[in-house]
Amino acid sequence: MGRIDGFVGRRDLLKLAGGVGGFGLAAAAGGVLWTAQEAIEPQAADAQQKPKPVSSDEALQRMMEGNKRFVQEKRKNPNQSLLRLKETALVQYPFAAMLSCADSRVPTEIIFDQGFGDLFVVRMAGNVVSPTAVGSLEFATAVLGAQLIVIMGHERCGAVAAAVKGDPLPGRIGTFVEDIKPAVARVKGKAGDPVDNAVVANVQYQVEVLKETSVMLTQLIQEGKLKIVGGRYDLDSGEVTIVT
């Protein structure tokens, strides 16, 4: 697959998009829908200015080092200046993408000690893999060039707890809770805290779902240009542990 400074080229992106039922790349971000061509055209115009891509292993190392600084209260607060704000106002080249829970106690850039333009973050209650989440992550990787996706759950997740409890829920809350129940079933009867067991199982399950759902992401993985991992965030210590 052709890449421009490590990013998927226009023709190859269109081929990938066509391979997913011919729909083209659609990703939800800021209320905008992109087709494959609309997404890649503005990126290709400034291809020479793009930074060299960060490999999957380098990206994961950068994130874990940032989390270590956060836990040890030694944050560097990188890429958070007004200069960085201006640098990323028109273009973005995140080195990693994330699917994390929407919980207000899990501010992704803070716990990984990152700044403007570093992480492409999708947040869903229960960190579940929805169609819009998949599209957003495809955009982050195939178009923007991120070579790492982290799916991250967290301790005492309310969505997971609701799935464990299993009671009927009002409105559309039950939609994402239902997406967690297969993971709950995997650890039913296991020794230990049922919610914490299910949090880890849910991360592992959602990683599997993401890999099985997207032809585009699967192809990038097979070509060695993408890695998908799962993590658990500890609300008490601030530490992230890789669980896949």
pTM of the model: 0.82
Angle, helices 194-213 vs 158-165, to 10°: value is 100
Query: Residue 119: which of 154, 152, 158 has the closest Cα?
Result: 152
What pairs with residue 150 in β-bridges? Answer: 98, 229
For the chain, how many structural domains are there in total? 1
- A 10 A CB-CB count for 97 gives 26
**What's 161's domain CATH number?**
3.40.1050.10
Query: Alpha-carbon distance 190 to 204, whole Å?
Result: 16
For the chain, 244 residues long, give each residue's pLDDT as a single digit of tens: 444 334 455 445 555 555 444 333 433 333 333 444 344 444 444 443 677 778 999 999 999 999 999 999 999 999 999 999 999 999 999 999 999 999 999 999 999 999 999 999 999 999 999 999 999 999 999 999 999 999 999 999 999 999 999 999 999 999 999 999 999 999 999 999 999 999 999 999 999 999 999 999 999 999 999 999 999 999 999 999 999 9
Query: Alpha-carbon distance 176 to 128, whole Å?
Result: 7
Query: Alpha-carbon distance 193 to 160, whole Å?
Result: 12
Q: Write out the residue range of the structural domain in which residue 114 sits.
A: 3-242
pLDDT score at 51: 75
**196: Cα within 13 Å, side-chain hemisphere:** 7
Query: Alpha-carbon distance 25 to 138, whole Å?
Result: 8
